[in-house]
Structure 1
Amino acid sequence: MSEPAQQQKNGHLVIIGGHEDRKHDMEILSRFVELSGGKDANIVVITAASTVPDDMWSMYDDAFGNLGVERRSHLELSSRQEANSEEFVRQVAEADGIFMTGGDQKRLLALLGGTALDAEMHIALKTRGATIGGTSAGASAMSGHMLAQGRVELHPEKGSVSLAAGLGLLQRVVIDQHFSERQRLSRLLTVVAQNPYLQGIGIDEDTALVVERGVGIEVLGQGAVTIVDGRTMITNVADIKDRDTPELIDVRLHLLPAGSSYRLPTDATAPGKGLPLPLLDFLEHVTKRNPIQ
C-alpha cells in the first residue's frame, strides 16, 4: 500500500497590527505557532526593525517558550553583509516560521530589502509553504508598497504620506497598523487617494489578518481589519495643492471584525458563492500565488 501524499503547504502570512497579547491566551502567536507546524516547529525571530534587538528578542523568546516551542532562535541582523551571509540565509532556509518584530519598517528594509535573506524568505513562503509573521513595522514591511512616513490628523491631505518599497510578500496593497487606536483612517485614505492602484489594509492592535495563499483569509484577535478600496473612486487629488483635502467619492470600505473568515470558491461555476464582488476581488488579490521575484 502506497504512502499517503503529503498535504500541500500553501504558505501563510500572519499580519499583526501591533501590541499582540504575549502573556495571557496569546491567541495570535498561538495561531502563528500552529501554522508553522506546532511545538516542534523551528521558529526564527528577526529583530532588524528594532534599535533594542536584545530586549525585543527577550519578549518573544519568553512568549514562544511559554507556547512550548523549543527550537526558537534570534536572527539579530545588523548589516546588509549579514543579510547576504550563508549562515543567516541558512537559518531562514531551515525555518518553519519566520517572525518579524516591530520597530521601524524603514530600518528593516534598509537592512533586509533586496538581499539574499529577502530572497530566501520568498522561497520559504512560496516554495516550502512556511509561515511568515510580522507585527507593527514587521506587518507594514510585508507589502510591495510600504508606508514609510506621514501623519494625517482629521482629514486626508494630499502629499502628507510617503511610500517606499517593501518586501513584496503581498502586492498591490499597503498595510497600516495600530489602526483604530491611532485613528489612522485619514492616513490610509490619503494613500489610496494618491495611489488608487493600491488597496489599503488597516489592522487594529492585538489583531491579525491571516492570509493562506490561494485559499482565503481569517481575522484573529480583539479588533478588526479595515479595507479601503479606491478603484472606482472619483477624486480631484491631481488638481489640488499639497496639504489640501481632496474630494473622495465612491470609496469602498470593508470592515472585517475578529472571527471573520472567507475562502475563495472552489467551484468556478459559482464565483463568490454569495460574496460581494469587491470582497471577492480583494480575496483573489491578497491570496494570489505570486511567483518568486
Structure 2
Amino acid sequence: MKTEPQRRARHGHLVIIGGHEDRQHRKEILTRFVELAGGVQSSIVVITAASRVADQMWSIYEQAFADLGVTRHAHLVLENRQDANDEEKVRMVAEADGIFMTGGDQKRLLAIVGGTALDAAMHAALKVRGACIAGTSAGASAMSGHMLAQGRTDLLPEKGAVSLAAGLGFVHRVVIDQHFSERQRLARLLSVVAQNPYLLGIGIDEDTALVIERGRGIEVLGEGSVTVIDGRTMDTNMADIAERATPELIDVRLHLLPAGSRYYLPEDGEPAKPMSPSLRDFLENVTKRNPLS
C-alpha cells in the first residue's frame, strides 16, 4: 500500500469513464478513482458545469462518495466563466487530490471552463502534484484536446456527419466518444477518424473506464470495453466524395480492450511486455511518453 501514493505523486492519473458508472452497488470505478486520488482521506472536488441540473448531479455523487467513506468532498459550483476565474474556486482545484467532472453537455463545460484559471489549475494539479482527474460521459469527451462536439449516430460512417471543437487537452491526438456500444457509436467514431486520420478514436462503453497513468500505461475497468480506432495507415476517398456519402476506409486498425486489460510501458530496468507496434504507439501517445505531437 505504500507504493501507490509514490506512483501517484510521480505520474498522475486520468480516469475516463464512458458514462452510467455504477454509483450504488460495487462502485468499482469510483472506488478506483478514490484510491488513485490518495484514499478516503483525500480531498475531492466535483465539477458539475456540464449539467443544467447541477444540484441534482451533485446530490448523486455526494451520496456515492460518502458511501465510499470520503469525508472531504465538495461541490464546485461553476455557472459562468467568472466563477471559473474566482480565486477561491481555483484554489480548491489547485489543492484537490481528485477532480471529478460529471456528465451533461461537453460544449457547456468547455464554454465555462476552457481557457480559465481553473482550467490551468487542473493541468497543474495533474502534472505537478500527481492528482487524479476523472470525467464521465460529457466529462470524458471533454478531456481530449480535440473534442467531439456533435455528430449523428447511423449505421455507416458519413462525410460531414461529425464536428469537433477544442477540449481541455489532458490527452492529445485522440477523440473520445462515450456510451459507445450501448448507443452504437462505431460509425460515428469511424466518421471522426475518416475526416481526421491523424486522430486516434477512443470509444468507451458505459460503466467502463480507461485509466491512464501519465508516462506509464493504461488499464480498463468496469463492465464493458474500450475500442481504439487507428486510421493513420488507412486509404480513403473521403476528400473526393459528396457530403453525407459513405467513404471507403481501407486498412483501418481496431483494438478492443475489455475490462481487465492492462498495458504498461517499461521503466528503466523493467522487461517490456510484448505488444504490437500500433498498440505501443497508442500507449506512448495517451501517456505522453514520446507523444505523437
TM-score w.r.t. length of structure 2: 0.95
Q: Shift in Å at residue 273 of structure 1?
A: 3.6
- Paired position in structure 2 for 1:81: 82
Q: CA deviation at 1:152?
A: 2.8
Deviation of 1:268 (Å): 8.2
Secondary structure of the residue that 2:163 maps to in structure 1? strand
Instruction: Give runs of aligned pairs for residues 143-292 of structure 1, distance below 5 A.
Output: 143-266=144-267, 273-288=273-288
Match for 1:48: what amino acid? A
Residue 274 of structure 1: how far off its partner (Å): 1.6
Partner of 1:25: 26
Secondary structure of 1:227 counterpart: strand
Is contact 1:206–1:223 with CA below 8 Å preserved after alignment? yes
8 Å contact kept, 2:158–2:191: yes
Instruction: Tell whether 2:138 aligns with 1:137.
Output: yes
Contact 1:12–1:213, Cα closer than 8 Å, also in 2: yes
Deviation, 1:222, is 0.1
Amino acid at match of 1:213: R
Deviations 1:217-256 (A, max 9, x none): 0000000000000000000000001100000000000000
Quick one: distance in 2 between partners of 1:154 and 1:27? 32
Match of 2:123 in 1: 122
- Checking the alignment, whether the CA contact within 8 Å between 1:126 and 1:289 is kept in structure 2 is no
Structure 1: gaps (5+ residues):
1-5
Instruction: Provide the C-alpha distance between the structure 1 equivalents of 2:118 and 2:285, rounded to a whole number of angstroms.
Output: 25
Alpha carbons of 1:289 and 1:123: their partners in 2 closer, same or farther (altered >3 Å)? farther
Amino acid at match of 1:25: R
Q: Which deviations, in whole Å up to 9, do the C-alpha atoms of 1:17-36 show, x marking residues without a partner?
A: 00000000000000000000
Counterparts in 2 of 1:290 and 1:118: CA distance versus 1, 3 Å:
farther
Native 8 Å contact 1:49 1:103 kept in 2: yes
Cα distance in structure 2, aligned partners of 1:50 and 1:152: 22
Which one-letter code corresponds to 2:287 in the other structure?
T
Superposed counterparts of 1:47-86, under 5 Å:
47-86=48-87
Aligned CA distance change for structure 1 residues 251 and 80 (closer, same or farther; 3 Å): same
Instruction: Please tell me the root mean square deviation across aligned C-alpha atoms, in Å.
Output: 1.7
SS at match of 2:194: helix
Contact residue 264 and residue 273 of structure 2 kept, 8 A: no
Question: How far did residue 94 of structure 1 move?
Answer: 1.2
Q: What is the TM-score when the length of structure 1 is the normalising length?
A: 0.95
How many Å separate the matches in 2 of 1:68 and 1:9? 25
Q: Name the SS for the 2:240 alignment partner.
A: coil
Which amino acid is the alignment partner of residue 222 of structure 2? G
Give me the whole-angstrom Cα distance separating, in 1, the residues matched to 2:274 and 2:149: 37
Query: What amino acid is the match of 1:263?
Result: Y
- What is the percentage of aligned positions where both structures have the same residue? 74
CA distance in 1, matches of 2:266, 2:97: 28
Contact 1:125 1:132 in 2 (8 A): yes
Contact 2:153–2:184 at 8 Å: present in 1 too? no
1:161-184 deviations in Å (ceiling 9; x for gaps): 000000000000000000000000
